[in-house]
């Protein structure tokens, strides 16, 4: 095991990027980290620091299906996807189907959890907490619903529960990839073409919809990044 705890986390914003390109980018960093951990195991006493990355980006319209997902939760055929200028990928994260698109903050933390804590449940809860704290700064109350991942509005009484942030991750040797999708100024009509996360009795929302006005997405990103850094006790290095 690597006994060097490295809290430094490189922050990169990739802007608007094709989903496949971002996935390849993640896979490359993820593989390098996993390979380094394997090498460190062989070189006990002479380990190298494993790096951490926090990546933000936006995607053109795309639907992604996780390993535990069902194809029938995508309600569009190939022609329908073309008509909506959307693409579709089966991917290697947990969870079911979700949508990514402009106006949505997509976050990909590629962390070696050995640098922080080795607990995937805690990892997911802290990512949710960062979004909950960010929403609080806009006077939007949010939280969790038992048995469901992500961040929800009207999570207590659940008269009209609606998801504002979805999560889906993969980890190997405590290195993480994939992450979260936070709806800020998202075109919510695209969710009508899927059964989001396989849940057909709950709605999806965005910060724009909850506030009744468009929001400065860059401002939201700064707040969100700070909350992630504070919760994980990261030392953020902006690249």
- Look-up of token digits 């009508």: 192
Burial grade of 160 (CB within 10 A; 0-12, 13-18, 19 or more): exposed
Report in angstroms the alpha-carbon separations of 234 from 1, 10, 134, 180. Answer: 20, 10, 17, 18
- In the chain, the largest separation of any two C-alpha atoms, in whole Å, equals 57
- Interatomic CA distance for residues 214 and 208, integer angstroms: 5
In the annotation, is 197 catalytic? yes
Give the three-state DSSP class for 206.
coil
Give the active site residue among 106, 167, 197, 204.
197
Reduced DSSP (H G I as helix, E B as strand, rest coil) percent helix, strand, coil of the chain, to 5 = 35, 30, 35
- Interatomic CA distance for residues 180 and 111, integer angstroms: 14
Which two tokens mark 204?
């999806």
With residue 190 as reference, give the H or E element that holds it: none
- Interatomic CA distance for residues 210 and 137, integer angstroms: 13
As annotated, the active-site residues are: 197
């Amino acid at each position: 095991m690597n006994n060097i705890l490295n809290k430094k986390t490189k922050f990169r914003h990739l802007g608007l990027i094709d989903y496949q390109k971002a996935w390849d980018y993640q896979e490359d960093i993820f593989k390098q980290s996993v390979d380094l951990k394997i090498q460190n195991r062989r070189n006990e006493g002479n380990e190298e620091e494993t790096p951490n990355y926090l990546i933000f980006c936006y995607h053109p319209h795309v639907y992604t299906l996780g390993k535990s997902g069902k194809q029938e939760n995508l309600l569009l055929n190939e022609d329908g996807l073309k008509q909506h200028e959307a693409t579709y990928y089966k991917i290697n994260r947990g969870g079911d189907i979700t949508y990514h698109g402009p106006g949505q903050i997509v976050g990909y933390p590629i962390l070696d959890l050995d640098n922080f804590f080795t607990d995937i449940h805690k990892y997911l809860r802290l990512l949710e907490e960062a979004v909950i704290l960010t929403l609080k700064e806009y006077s939007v109350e949010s939280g969790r619903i038992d048995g469901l991942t992500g961040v929800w509005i009207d999570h207590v009484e659940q008269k009209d529960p609606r998801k504002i942030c979805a999560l889906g991750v993969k980890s190997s040797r405590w290195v993480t990839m994939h992450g979260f999708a936070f709806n800020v100024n998202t075109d919510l009509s695209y969710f009508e073409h899927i059964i989001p996360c396989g849940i057909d009795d709950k709605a999806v929302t965005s910060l724009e919809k909850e506030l009744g006005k468009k929001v400065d997405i860059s401002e939201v990103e700064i707040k969100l990044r700070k909350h992630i850094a504070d919760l994980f006790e990261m030392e953020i290095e902006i690249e």
